[in-house]
Amino acid sequence: MTETGSAPPRRRSVLLIVSLCLNVALAAMIAIGIYNAVQRNRPRPPGGPLAPQALMAEVGPQERAKIQAVIDRHTARLRELRIEAAQARGAAFRIFEEPSFTPQDFSKALERVRAADTAWQDEAAKMTGESVAQLTPQERQAIAQKIRERAKPAWRVFMPRRTGQ
């Protein structure tokens, strides 16, 4: 005699358990994604967390006005340097596409591109340095803490860092 009401094969129950685990993992990933979207929904200014525009979002009105004055002082020069860098790239491309291309001319053009980019970056660094100088030590600490919190991976929310060990 054969049994007609036998238990399902073991393979089917293993697949069911694996499927359930994958669904739980997927639900956790979706929950973390939603958490990140809610926590980090404000737009971030270009230039990173220490850019003057980013600093303005973190300080009070008085410091904001000081930082805006620094930005205003540097804006025209930064615009000029950005235009120079774009022109240097255009010149390099024109040399690249010429039928009489020479590696020496192209290298010189690339050096002009590098110099223009460096000049722009130097001016941006000056602007950032002057903007940071407008902050008090307490404001710098508060901003640094906010930046650290934003940079924390989402899974760290569920695993707080232990201190004092």
Q: Please give the pLDDT value at position 41.
A: 58
DSSP 134-160: TS-HHHHHHHHHHHHHHHS-GGGGSSP
> At 7, is the pLDDT very low, low, confident or very high (cuts 50, 70, 90)?
low
Of the listed ranges 11-20, 76-85, 145-154, the one predicted with least confidence: 145-154
Of the listed ranges 54-58, 66-70, 104-108, the one predicted with least confidence: 54-58
> At 120, is the pLDDT very low, low, confident or very high (cuts 50, 70, 90)?
very high
Is the per-residue pLDDT at 165 higher than 50? no
Digit-coded pLDDT (tens) for 15-55:
899 999 999 999 998 988 887 777 665 555 566 778 888 88
**CB neighbours of 51 closer than 8 A, spacing ≥ 6?**
45, 128
Q: Please give the pLDDT value at position 163.
A: 58
User: What is the Cα–Cα distance from 59 to 106, expressed in whole angstroms?
Assistant: 46
**Number of Cβ atoms within 10 Å of the Cβ of 59:** 20
In this structure, are residues 143 and 55 in contact, taking their beta carbons and an 8 Å threshold? yes
Mean pLDDT (whole number) for 8-18: 80
Is the per-residue pLDDT at 63 higher than 90? no
Architecture of domain 52-155 in this structure = Up-down Bundle (1.20)
In this structure, are residues 143 and 135 in contact, taking their beta carbons and an 8 Å threshold? yes
Is the per-residue pLDDT at 159 higher than 70? no
In this structure, are residues 59 and 137 in contact, taking their beta carbons and an 8 Å threshold? no
